[in-house]
Structures are given as structure tokens and as C-alpha cells.
Structure 1
Amino acid sequence: MPTSRGFGIADFERAFDEFFDELLIDRWKCGTPAVEFERAQIIDHPDHYEVRVAAVGVDPAKIQAEVSGQRLALRMPDKLGGTLESSFAFSDSIDGEASTAKWAEGTLVITVPKKKARRIALNH
């Protein structure tokens, strides 16, 4: 039975199901590492960003990090055989070539240097 706005009970039930599928089931499928992955810390230093991601139980050799433009993308396996992905956007331009990553006690630490502004000399 449609309402005055044309949104019927079937539409409501479908929206309700999609909401709970996304909220509960998709998070459950990812397992515990997804929760840790979502808790990434980004520390803004004057000359670089430091990204810290807890990834207990993940093989560091299977973690992929990629810098492109002003974005850092991370991919790592989850406990169920899938892949967790996340990306971080920075307000400053970053130097992907000079970025480094290290692994210590279940935590991935990525250092992403900020690109310095370049002055352009004016020819008179």
C-alpha cells in the first residue's frame, strides 16, 4: 500500500534490509582485522604524515601499500580469505617515492613525506 509520497511497504522493507546488511553482515564477514584496520591513526607532523595501522595476525609480506597523488591505499588479507582495503587522503601533496613502511609487533607504520612547495623565479 503506497504512502502519499509513493514509498510503499516493500520499498521500506528493502531499504531496511539493505541498511542492516551493510551495517551488520558486511562488517561481520570481514572478521576482527576490519575493526583494527578502521582504527588507523594518522599523525600530521610538520614535514610528513605517519599512518599507523594495527594488523595483528596479518602476514606483513601480504600487505600492499600504494601512494598516488594525495592518497595512500592499503590492502591486506583478512582471516576469511578476503581482502581488506582502505585509502587515506591527505590535504598536502605527498612524496610517494620517499615514503617508507615498517612492521613492528603487529603494527604497520607508514611514513609519507610532504612535498615542499617550489618557488618559481620570475624572468623580467
Structure 2
Amino acid sequence: MATSRGFGIADFERAFDEFFDEMLIDRWKCAAPSVEFERAQVIEHRDRYEVRVAAVGVDPAKIQAEVSGQRLAVRVPDKLGGTLESSFAFSNSIDADTSTAKWSEGTLLITLPKKKGRRIALKAS
């Protein structure tokens, strides 16, 4: 059924679909993560862990890495102004004070030394 201007229900539905395709679906396609956490490599050494994350196209100044206990959280900005986060859990506690992060050719390398145990001296009672 057409209106007096020649714009019918089918035309309205098509325009409505195109509007939502442009406004929502195209934005979701653009919001693809700029960092591929699923491709992160975690390597365990005797005295440390190394985490390598491909981060091509990310401003290294905007990457945040936080260590707490046995966990590492890495946060990077996404293309829509939000934040993507990935967490890694380890079997040993991490020495946060000596942990380091380096950026090289689109790859973030985080070195996490394992926290050493402390011996407790026994005192005679």
C-alpha cells in the first residue's frame, strides 16, 4: 500500500533496516578488539613468567598492566573509547615491585618474577 508520496510500508521497513544497519551493526564491526588477547603467550620459567601480547595499532602509552598477588590484568583502549581487559592467573605469587613491561614492534612483553618464599627463623621458647 503506497501513500500519496509513493512511500509504502515496504519502503519504510527497508529504510528502517538500513538505518539500524548503519547505526548499530556497522559500529559493532568497527569495535573489533585492537588487541588479540586470545593470542597471548604465557611462558613459565623457573624464576619468572613472561606474557607476550600482540598489540598492533595500540598506543603503548595507553596500555595498563596491573599485578596483584597471583594475577595480571592488562587493559587497552578499544576503538569506541571503552576498555578491553584480559586477566591471567598464575600458580605462584608475583613480585610486583620487580615486574617489568616492554613494548617492541607491536608486541607487549611483561616479565613477572616469581615471589620468593621467606624462611622463618625458629626461636627457643
TM-score of the two chains, using structure 1 as the length reference: 0.72
Identical aligned pairs, as a percentage?
A: 75
- Residues 34-63 of structure 1, C-alpha deviation per residue, up to 9 Å, x if partnerless? 5x1221110001000000000100000000
CA distance in 1, matches of 2:29, 2:47: 38
CA distance in 2, matches of 1:39, 1:56: 12
CA distance in 2, matches of 1:30, 1:44: 32
User: How much does 1:107 deviate?
Assistant: 0.3
* Structure-1 residue corresponding to 2:101: 101
Which aligned segments of 4 or more residues in structure 1 are displaced greater than 4 angstroms?
27-30
* Structure-2 residue corresponding to 1:20: none
Residue range with higher mean Cα deviation, 91-100 or 114-123: 114-123
- Corresponding residue SS for 1:97: helix
- In structure 1, the gaps of 5 or more residues are 1-26
What is the count of residue pairs matched by the alignment?
Answer: 97
TM-score of the two chains, using structure 2 as the length reference: 0.71
* Structure-2 residue corresponding to 1:16: none
CA distance in 1, matches of 2:29, 2:95: 36
- In structure 2, the gaps of 5 or more residues are 1-27
Two-structure CA RMSD over aligned residues (Å): 1.7
Distance 1:28 1:118, change over 3 A: farther
On the 8 A contact 1:31/1:80 being kept in 2, the answer is no
2:24 aligned with 1:52, yes or no? no
Which structure is larger by alpha-carbon Rg, 1 or 2?
2
Give the counterpart letter for 2:86 in structure 1.
S
